[in-house]
């Protein structure tokens, strides 16, 4: 909280029945500067977004994600088919009067847009037909320049007729637009440098965190180096921007002599879109709204046209860095074209999101984000965790194979063992990946019970292996393998259980149990935590309604030791299987 700004983190938010955010507010001195209310279907597809922010013009900027009167706006694969912007009726299932914008997508079986119909203020519909080749690359875009691709699948000419060049590692090196932008990369594929017109323009050097978040950008004009901006990020999501300090006003923000004197706060909706930018006095300098695939529109504080972004501001749609010169988003490993709703390069990790290497967010950008440009993930913010509810769902057993038998790693409780999960009838021999007829989720409930005593017989509070209960989730991509919650692909679907020593002069027992079940994607659209972090950070929940603790598959590890008796019995481990 800074200078009267009460920035949303775990603030006033209501979680809907199916785990999404129902009501989210951003507050300044107790007054909402942004407020959005949502409705969801049972697959957690967003049905509407009510703009309940300040001012009489706010409701007219609400959004409906289907046709009027409750018409289904999603297909059977939960891909978006219609979007309207206007004033919602009282039941939030129709636009009152004429929609300011109405976009309707026609999709082929792989999710490619074969047509985009746009209707502005009830006027004459405008159709943009699109065609694709067998590689799902665009071969025609109605009314726009046909994109071109190189032999590696990289888009070398965009819909505006601008050329793009790539290096041998398929990284974008140059965009030839109204101005020419040249990029450089470090060894981790991060862009540390953006050059505009070489020595006649500005070179921007970017410095990153280990999570690939921009921390500082410096301007370098043929030798001179000046701090341009610094960023602070939230902990709930990798692109959850809190604030930016810049040098448009001279000052000492960050540290004395930084030259940064202007601080601006970012406010987001449930999809991490930056919806407004607020100064330290609580005044909204600009509002931003987007079409579902990220094309931004800038508004004034009163929601009317004519807003202007602060100089060099980049984080916008889903928190991604927007390049105003090219109109594209930098998502670390790829570039997103919001006009076409596709990536400009094929997925660098292959077919993890189905058979389409260019599709963005599984065709549902309201429910999924892809901050790394590699793999869609649920976009629901994790500020308040919804309790998992497996009611009316039946999980199937998972075959558990021991990879490393339980072995002591210390004398007073330290141990480790590793198991491998398998759901298919066989494994691919080279990678030990599961073969399965469907995609879905493996859910594991882990409980750890620890009892420790001193040699005197006094009970000792476990310090290294606390009693706990938590949940883990792995996504299973059909015929490919396992990924963890963050989307990291495993060549081997392994899970390792580790305990550590409780200390000399103790005796005790540690019991670890994992209960595992597989839920196919058609029964469980995604695990119901609404969490974006790696699986090791899933919320600890002691009881889950509907979870059958007698179903699924079980594996156990029991660790005992006695450092008190005369023989000093060191760690013993037994496992099942």
Q: Closest by alpha carbon to 323, among 160, 177, 166?
A: 177
State whether 372 and 409 are in the same domain.
no
For residue 418, is it within any domain?
yes
State whether 147 and 266 are in the same domain.
yes
State whether 412 and 322 are in the same domain.
no
Strands 21-28 and 13-15: antiparallel
CATH number at 44 reads 2.180.10.10
pLDDT per position as a tens digit, 201-241: 678 889 998 888 999 999 876 666 789 999 999 877 889 99
How many Å apart are CA 51 and CA 343, to the nearest integer?
Answer: 29
State whether 371 and 425 are in the same domain.
no
For residue 393, is it within any domain?
no
245 compared with 375, residue with greater pLDDT:
245
> 141: which 2 tokens?
């875009």
Give the N- to C-terminal CA distance of the chain in Å, as an integer.
51
State whether 325 and 406 are in the same domain.
no
The owner of tokens 């020593």 is: 501
State whether 437 and 489 are in the same domain.
yes
Across 255-259, 396-400, 559-563, least confident range? 396-400
Structural domain of 218: 5-378
Write down the mean pLDDT value for the chain: 81
For the chain, give the percent of residues with pLDDT over 70. Answer: 78
For residue 83, is it within any domain?
yes
For residue 351, is it within any domain?
yes
State whether 141 and 73 are in the same domain.
yes
Average pLDDT value for residue range 353-375: 90
Q: Closest by alpha carbon to 500, among 453, 454, 450?
A: 450
Boundary residue ending a domain (378, 413, 431): 378
State whether 151 and 258 are in the same domain.
yes
For residue 386, is it within any domain?
no
State whether 363 and 474 are in the same domain.
no
Q: Closest by alpha carbon to 337, among 293, 301, 296, 368?
A: 293
403 compared with 270, residue with greater pLDDT:
270
**In Å, what is the CA distance from 72 to each residue of 81, 97, 536?**
8, 19, 36
Q: In the structure, what pLDDT confidence band is assigned to residue 443 with cuts at 50, 70 and 90?
A: confident
Residues whose CB falls within 8 Å of the CB of residue 235, separated by 6 or more in sequence, listed in order: none
Q: In the structure, what pLDDT confidence band is assigned to residue 546 with cuts at 50, 70 and 90?
A: low
Asked if the model's pLDDT at residue 544 lies above 60, the reply is no
For residue 126, is it within any domain?
yes
Residues whose CB falls within 8 Å of the CB of residue 256, separated by 6 or more in sequence, listed in order: none
Q: Closest by alpha carbon to 575, among 498, 512, 522?
A: 512
Question: 431-436, long-range: CB within 8 Å, 24+ apart, which pairs?
Answer: 431/481, 431/491, 431/492, 432/491, 432/492, 432/493, 433/480, 433/481, 433/482, 433/491, 433/492, 433/493, 434/476, 434/481, 434/482, 434/493, 435/479, 436/476, 436/478, 436/479
Q: Phi, psi at residue 537, to the nearest 5°? A: -105, 15
210 compared with 143, residue with greater pLDDT:
143
How many Å apart are CA 430 and CA 318, to the nearest integer?
Answer: 37
State whether 407 and 340 are in the same domain.
no
In total, how many domains does the chain have?
Answer: 2
Average pLDDT value for residue range 500-505: 89
For residue 394, is it within any domain?
no
> 567: which 2 tokens?
């023989």
Max intra-chain CA distance, the chain: 91
Q: Closest by alpha carbon to 326, among 318, 334, 314, 337?
A: 337
For residue 461, is it within any domain?
yes
Across 81-90, 145-154, 497-506, least confident range? 497-506
The Cβ of residue 176 has, within 10 Å, a number of other Cβ atoms equal to: 15
Task: Give this prediction's pTM.
Answer: 0.68
* pLDDT for the residue numbered 464: 76
């Amino acid at each position: 909280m800074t200078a009267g700004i009460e920035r949303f983190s775990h603030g006033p938010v209501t979680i809907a029945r199916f785990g999404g955010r129902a009501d989210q507010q951003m507050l300044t001195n107790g007054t909402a500067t942004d407020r959005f209310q949502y409705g969801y279907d049972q697959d957690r597809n967003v049905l509407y977004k009510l703009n309940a922010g300040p001012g009489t013009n706010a409701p007219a900027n609400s959004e409906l994600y289907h046709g009027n009167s409750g018409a289904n706006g999603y297909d059977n694969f939960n891909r978006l088919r219609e979007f309207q912007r206007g004033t919602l009726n009282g039941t939030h299932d129709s636009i009152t009067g004429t929609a300011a914008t109405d976009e309707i997508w026609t999709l082929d079986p792989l999710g490619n847009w074969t047509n985009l119909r746009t209707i502005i203020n009830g006027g004459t519909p405008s159709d943009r037909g699109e065609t694709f080749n067998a590689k799902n690359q665009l071969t025609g875009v109605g009314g726009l320049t046909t994109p071109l691709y190189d032999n590696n699948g990289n888009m070398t000419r965009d819909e505006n007729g601008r050329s793009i060049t790539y290096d041998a590692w398929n990284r974008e090196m140059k965009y030839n637009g109204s101005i020419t932008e040249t990029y450089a990369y470090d060894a981790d594929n991060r862009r540390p440098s953006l050059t505009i017109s070489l020595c006649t323009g500005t070179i921007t050097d970017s410095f990153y965190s280990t999570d690939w978040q921009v921390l500082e950008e410096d301007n370098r004009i043929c030798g001179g180096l000046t701090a341009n901006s610094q960023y602070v990020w939230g902990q709930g999501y990798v692109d959850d921007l809190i604030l930016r300090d810049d040098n448009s006003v001279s000052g000492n923000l960050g540290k004395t002599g930084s030259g940064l004197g202007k601080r601006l706060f970012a406010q987001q909706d449930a999809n991490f879109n930056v919806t407004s930018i607020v100064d330290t006095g609580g005044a909204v300098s600009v509002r931003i709204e987007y079409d579902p695939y990220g094309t931004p529109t800038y508004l004034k504080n009163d929601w009317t046209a004519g807003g202007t972004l602060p100089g060099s501001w980049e984080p916008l749609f889903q928190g991604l860095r927007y390049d105003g010169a090219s109109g594209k988003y930098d998502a670390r490993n790829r570039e997103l074209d919001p006009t076409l709703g596709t990536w400009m390069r094929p997925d660098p990790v292959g077919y993890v999101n189905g058979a389409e290497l260019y599709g963005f967010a599984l065709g549902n950008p309201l429910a999924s984000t892809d901050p790394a440009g590699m793999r869609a993930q649920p976009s629901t913010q994790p500020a308040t965790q919804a309790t998992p509810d497996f009611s009316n769902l039946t999980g199937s057993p998972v075959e558990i194979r021991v990879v490393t038998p339980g072995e002591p790693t210390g004398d007073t409780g330290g141990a480790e063992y590793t198991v491998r999960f398998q759901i298919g009838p066989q494994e691919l021999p080279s990678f030990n990946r599961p073969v399965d007829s469907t995609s879905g989720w493996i859910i594991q409930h882990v409980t750890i019970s620890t009892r420790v005593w001193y040699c005197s017989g006094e009970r000792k509070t476990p310090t290294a292996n606390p009693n706990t209960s938590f949940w883990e989730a792995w996504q299973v991509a059909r015929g490919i393998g396992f990924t963890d919650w963050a989307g990291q692909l495993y060549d081997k679907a392994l899970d390792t259980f580790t305990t550590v020593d409780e200390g000399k002069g103790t005796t005790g027992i540690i019991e670890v149990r994992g209960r595992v079940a597989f839920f196919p994607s058609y029964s469980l659209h995604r695990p119901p935590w609404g969490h974006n972090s790696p699986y090791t950070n899933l919320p600890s929940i002691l009881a889950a309604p509907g979870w059958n603790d007698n179903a699924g598959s079980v594996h156990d590890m029991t660790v005992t030791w006695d450092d008190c008796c005369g023989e000093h019995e060191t760690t013993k481990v037994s496992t099942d299987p």
